[in-house]
Every structure is written in C-alpha cells, then in structure tokens.
C-alpha cells in the first residue's frame, strides 16, 4: 500500500525508475487517449469576418432573445468582445435565414 500511496502523491525522487515509469504513464495517457474520449470537439467560430462585405457574421445564440430595437447595441458589444475587437459603430444588423426559414445567423455591418 505504501508504493501506491507514493505513486498517488508523486513521492519519488527524480531519475529513479519509479519516477520514469510515472512520466511514461502520463505521456502514454496524453498521446494514446483518443480525442473522442473527452468529447472535446472543435467548435465553429461564433463571430466571422465576411470578406469583401465590410461586415461580420454573428452566431444566432449570441443574440438570442434580444429585442429588435436593441440588436445594434448588442451586436456592437459582441463584436468588441470577439477576437476581432471591432471598435467601429454597427450600422445595420440583418437576420440571415436558410431555405427552410431557419435562422442561421446575423449579418452586422460596420462603418469603415
């Protein structure tokens, strides 16, 4: 039981064979564990710069429940907090729908 306790509390000196085994076990876990084990999948960006249009696409979840009158103000806050750090005033926010009339996002135009 003493050896298990020493493994748990990392009680071995460096350059000992026990220390090397612990490091090997950790490396094996890191490199051999499949990605799906943690259910950690990449997510799409929630704010995307639209090339050539001078605007941004905003994920609908970021503006969910916001009244129509407050869309510009909330979109400006979202754009400032995004990775683009947009400090320009938002001139227009338009809802984007697919062929089935499902909301797929918002297009926010900014003043250049």
Q: What is the pLDDT of residues 4-21, one digit of tens each?
A: 888 788 888 888 998 999
Mean of all residue pLDDT scores within the chain: 85
Same domain for 51 and 105 = yes
Structural domain range at position 34: 2-38
- Kindly state whether residues 34 and 60 are assigned to the same domain: no
Among 108, 106, 107, 68, CA closest to 88: 108
Mean pLDDT along residues 54-65: 86
- 77 — pLDDT class (breaks 50, 70, 90): confident
Shared domain for 33 and 76, answered yes or no, is no
C-alpha 97/C-alpha 104 separation (Å) is 5
**Do 77 and 59 reside in the same domain of the chain?**
yes
Q: Does the pLDDT value for residue 65 go beyond 90?
A: no
pLDDT for the residue 97: 92
Burial call 24-59: b when 16+ CB within 10 Å, e when fewer: eeeeeeeeeeeeeeeeeeeeeeebbeeeeeebbbbb
101 lies in the same domain as 59? yes
Predicted local confidence at residue 99, as pLDDT: 93
Q: What is the pLDDT of residue 25?
A: 92
For residues 17 and 54, state if they share a domain.
no
Number of domains in the chain: 2
Q: How confident is the model at residue 91 (pLDDT cuts 50, 70, 90)?
A: confident
């Amino acid at each position: 039981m003493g050896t298990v306790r020493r493994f748990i509390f990392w009680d071995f000196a460096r350059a000992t064979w026990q220390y090397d085994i612990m490091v090997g076990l950790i490396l094996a876990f890191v490199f051999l564990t499949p990605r799906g084990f943690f259910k950690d999948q990449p997510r799409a960006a929630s704010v995307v710069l639209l090339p050539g249009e001078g605007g941004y696409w905003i994920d609908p979840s970021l503006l969910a429940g916001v009244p129509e009158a407050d869309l510009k103000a909330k979109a400006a806050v979202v754009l400032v907090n995004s990775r683009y750090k947009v400090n320009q005033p938002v001139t227009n926010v338009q809802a984007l729908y697919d062929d089935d009339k499902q909301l797929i996002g918002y297009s926010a135009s900014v003043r250049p």
